[in-house]
Amino acid sequence: MESRVNLSNPLSQTDVVSRTLVTFTFLLGIFMGALDHGIVGPALSSIMNTFNISASWGVWSFTVYTLIFAVSIPVIGKMSDRVGRKQAFLFGIIMFGIGSLIAAFAPNFIVFLLGRAVQAIGSGGIFPITAAQIAMSYPPEHRDKAMGWIGVAFGLGSILGPTVGGFIIATASWKWIFLVNIPVCALILLLIAKYKPNQTRVVKPIDVLGITLLTLLILAVMLGIRLQNFWLIALGVICIPLLLLVEKKHPDPIMKVKYFTRSRTLALLLASAASGFVMATAVNFIPLFAEMNLGLAKGSSGFAATPLAIASMAASLIGGMLTDRLGARRALMAGFGLALIGAVFLILGMQSIVLLILTIILMGLGIGIIIGSPLNVLMLQAVEPSDTGMAVGYLSLFRSLGSTVGPALAGVFIANFTNGFSPLFITSAALSLASMAIVLVSAKGR
């Protein structure tokens, strides 16, 4: 069994300091990954000029990263239960550093995309592993608040990313956007070197065929959604029954079928997908909404997302406290409730920048709660301790799926409706309401 804190024998001060340092190290990985998400945006035009490519090719800097990240999450999450979370996290940090070097010194755009892909593989060993590590390092009465710091680290990195990226572009070559990751990776490796985890590992045959089918399924569906290609999506759908057939027979499957047959875990996965949709549509389209509805300049409209990011970061801590006081399920319901109210205000439209900012803050508070502690805590309560890495990985995978569907569907709405924001935010509100319903109903299920 996983080593947990013995409540009858409180930790010594040395042990508390050691645990805090390890937690800080894992959170530093989250911060670095989040910083990288936002830091590339300001450099995109410089990268396209360097490699002499069009904007249609330039967006693959993000597309390749998103696709490979989605694939790596469940695979590395599963492997962390086999080889250990420390080893999986180390692998992620090393791969992220190698990918950063490849991207910085790429002689052409194809090699640059290879670097982004390697970075994405590394991210798959950072984000879900950190959540599982923190969850299993703290006793229940401290776990909720501790997991709230994940949202703080991610939010801080997301806020600083565009600012740091803009500063680097203004003062140095875009290559430093990636080279800045190298000393951070080195520091993380140094800090975690002496950490000796106590974790029981799974020793069973590796599910090679299951991993292959799952990879094909994720790539086909997510790429199909991004390209709005029906045939790619159909290919992914065809992989589903084949994957289920393989997983039912394997002694240690990459995807446990019971996650999708038990109402509790299925509800949490669907809620995670909804959280990704709500988050992506808010972050990506509120600036455009402000520009088109309030007449803000393009440069100014980008700041409309700043209150959302700050509120989301603060709500991650609040979500941990709510989870501790009200329970994870009620905290999650409150988060979706705030997101629902924010979406309704956006549907109604507004001509006041002050009202828009208040609505954005409300959305940010809701998003910070629903992507933070409550979902992770509920999932960890529903699975065996030996499956923590895989379970948290699937939450991240479904959130990525939702965040991919959001912008794709938004593009369809904006292109085909006079006011495409209304159906977009109606969908966001409906998903928030549906998530509240399924989470509530699933409380009585298995």
In the predicted structure, residue 433 carries a pLDDT above the cut 90: yes
| Predicted confidence (pLDDT) per residue in 232-284, tens digit | 999 989 999 998 888 888 888 888 888 888 888 899 999 999 998 998 888 77
Cα 195 from chain centroid?
A: 25
Flag the least confident range among 22-31, 326-335, 408-417: 408-417
Mean pLDDT of 340-361: 86
- Whole-number percent of the chain with pLDDT over 70: 91
- Burial profile 229-241: b = 16 or more Cβ within 10 angstroms, e = fewer: eeebbebbeebee
Do residues 75 and 120 lie in contact, with contact meaning Cβ atoms separated by under 8 Å? no
pTM of the model: 0.80
CA atoms of 405 and 234, how far apart (whole Å):
15
Contact by Cβ (8 Å): 387, 259:
no
Could you tell me the two tokens for 21?
Answer: 């340092």
The span from the CA of 228 to the CA of 233, in Å, is 8
In this predicted structure, what is the pLDDT of residue 1? Answer: 36
pLDDT of residue 432: 94
pLDDT (tens digit, 9 = 90+) per residue, 183-200? 999 999 999 888 887 666
Query: Would you say residue 31 has pLDDT above 80?
Result: yes
How far apart, in whole angstroms, are the C-alpha atoms of residue 124 and residue 92? 7
Could you report the per-residue pLDDT of 210-244, keeping only the tens digit for each? 889 988 998 898 888 878 888 999 998 999 999 88
Residue 208: pLDDT over 80: yes
Residue 15 has pLDDT above 70, yes or no: no
- Band of pLDDT at residue 289, cut at 50, 70 and 90: confident
How far apart, in whole angstroms, are the C-alpha atoms of residue 131 and residue 148?
10
Q: What is the pLDDT of residue 431?
A: 94
In the predicted structure, residue 421 carries a pLDDT above the cut 90? no
Confidence of residue 297 (pLDDT cuts 50, 70, 90): low
Query: What is the band of 4 on the pLDDT scale with cuts at 50, 70, 90?
Result: very low
pLDDT at 7: 38
CB 159 within 8 A of CB 309: yes
Task: Give the mean pLDDT of the chain.
Answer: 83
Supply the pLDDT for residue 426.
Answer: 92
| pLDDT number for residue 6 | 43
